[in-house]
Amino acid sequence: MHTQPVIVNIGPHHPSTHGVFRMRLTMDGENILDVEPVIGYLHRGSEKLAEERHYTQVITLTDRMDYVASMTNNQAYVLSCEQLTGITPPDRGMYLRVIAAELQRVVSHLVATGFFLQDLGAFATPLMYAMRERERVLDLFEMLCGARITVSYMRIGGVFQDAPGEFWPALRRILDEFPAFIDELEDLISDNEIVLSRTQGVSVITGADAVNASITGPVLRASGVSWDLRKAAPYDVYDRVSFDVPLGEHGDNYDRYIIRIREIRESLKIVEQCVAQIEPGPVRATTAMLFRPPVGESYVPIEAPKGELGFYLVSDGSIAPYRMHARAPSLINLTLLKQMLVGWKLSDAIVSFGSIDVNMGEVDR
């Protein structure tokens, strides 16, 4: 039977686009013939706004890029500022950064997993389980800085303030109880027949293709490429802790899910070591709010939950960046979306897009 291809718009306002993202699909029935990603609906000009704010004020802009991983956005930005200014944070400040960053990785991966299962059709249960445990970590963030989502906790030279006394017992409870929760989540998901049939072998990205497209983070490691900036180019105190880098074998939707689950377990191991190693002392090298870095440029990439995140800064010697540009993993990781979706069906497209785990605040900036 002769059929005419139909163009279908998914988004920009659609629950399965994870924000204001638009997929323009050319379809023959349920089969996808072509994909055109359309971005730009959330553009807020963060990079341009940074040119009119002094260096410390820019921290609040970084929160709102990947607002599911604000702590690591703060970390990437302040590290680049420290390279520019020549400031070295005290040890306790760096340990608190790593604790906060790894807890943020746990939060980000829980959100990614919950919504991935929601996209797959699991009605609410895995998502609610993930969000329930996420709230416990956000309670810790509130203890650290008074905020839960857009935290602005880190500062050039360290962190905003030391952890209060009640933080450490609450953290201890999470470290003791979280492994059992991850086991429970895996029991629900990892061997589920529907999950396996809908994700294994679907939307495969080979290691070579991922490297050629500059893809990073769990999406890259799911394709079997061992690259993690916490080991390849350690920052803060990552050279003082031991952890494994989980790798996938097939680069499919299932591997992208399971890698995030395994990374949560490794993040908890890192936090455990930081708690054991942290010593009393100052948490910030300077309390100055205004900085005049020397003329120059800096870029310090970090291993954010979604991949390599870095802020390229150019200083002209004033109190504000002359130029700021974010290397955002959510944007780069969309590079192979067309390759992932062509040949599959509409229902697979929703799941595969969810497996990339993007945040549109970081894509559009």
**What pLDDT sits at residue 15?**
74
209 lies in some domain:
yes
34 lies in some domain:
no
pTM to 2 decimal places:
0.95
**What pLDDT sits at residue 18?**
83
31 lies in some domain:
no
Structure tokens that stand for 38 in this block: 């359309």
CA distance 362 to 76: 13
Domain count, the chain: 1
26 lies in some domain:
no
CA distance 61 to 65: 7
What pLDDT digit, counting tens, does each position of 4-40 carry?
A: 899 999 988 877 778 899 999 999 989 999 999 999 8
Confidence band of 56 (pLDDT split at 50, 70, 90): very high
Count of residues for the chain? 365
Name the residue among 230, 181, 205, 232 with its Cα closest to residue 340: 205
What residue numbers bound the domain in which 270 lies?
44-364
DSSP-derived letter for residue 298 is E
What pLDDT digit, counting tens, does each position of 209-254 carry?
A: 999 999 999 999 999 999 999 999 999 999 999 999 999 999 999 9
32 lies in some domain:
no
Average pLDDT of the chain, as a whole number: 94
35 lies in some domain:
no
Contact between residue 270 and residue 240 where contact means Cβ atoms under 8 Å apart: no
What pLDDT digit, counting tens, does each position of 121-166 carry?
A: 887 888 999 999 999 999 999 999 999 999 999 999 999 999 999 9
CA distance 183 to 96: 27
What pLDDT digit, counting tens, does each position of 323-360 carry?
A: 999 999 999 999 999 999 999 999 999 999 999 999 99
Share of the chain above pLDDT 70, in %: 100
29 lies in some domain:
no
Structure tokens that stand for 364 in this block: 């559009």
DSSP-derived letter for residue 127 is H
CATH number at residue 341: 1.10.645.10
DSSP-derived letter for residue 164 is P
150 lies in some domain:
yes
